[in-house]
Amino acid sequence: MTYVVTENCIACKYTDCVEVCPVDCFYEGENTLVIHPDECIDCGVCEPECPADAIRPDTEPDMEKWVEFNRKYAELWPVIITKKEPMDGYEERDGETGKMEKYFSEAPGEGG
């Protein structure tokens, strides 16, 4: 099992999760985070830290696409270990549907 970041992180990008990760397996894109599934040790400490409920175990239904999404971008983006402010407008976008099509950017974040 591993944990993955799902669509609700897009355009919100809370980073409460990155500070508690004992193996630094979070990676930062311009407007979302991902978890490298091969680096995650399945400890689960990140899941309750996410205010957007965007971190899920890969054992839930239909998570295969998110495992691959997380793997792909974790190999392209910089690691992030420091908490940052969420994105402007995150309150309005938290829980919004269709965020992948509306907002997702493949650009890397700053990391750090």
CATH number of the domain enclosing 16: 3.30.70.20
Q: Could you tell me if residue 105 is inside a domain?
A: no
Q: Could you tell me if residue 100 is inside a domain?
A: no
Half-sphere exposure of 59 (CA within 13 A, CB side): 4
Distance CA 2, CA 36 (A): 9
pLDDT at 12: 95
Q: Give, as one character, the DSSP assignment of residue 9.
A: G
Q: Which residue has the tokens 């990760």?
A: 21
Distance CA 27, CA 40 (A): 12
pLDDT at 106: 98
Q: Which two tokens mark 37?
A: 């599934």
CA-nearest of 69, 61, 58, 67 to 99 is 69
Q: What is the mean pLDDT of each run of 10 residues along the chain (112 residues)?
A: 96 96 98 98 97 96 97 98 96 94 97 95
Domain, as residue range, for 14:
3-87
Q: Could you tell me if residue 45 is inside a domain?
A: yes
pLDDT at 86: 96
Q: Could you tell me if residue 107 is inside a domain?
A: no
Whether this prediction's pTM lies above 0.85 is answered by yes
Number of domains forming the structure of the chain: 1
pLDDT at 36: 98
Q: Could you tell me if residue 25 is inside a domain?
A: yes
Q: Could you tell me if residue 61 is inside a domain?
A: yes
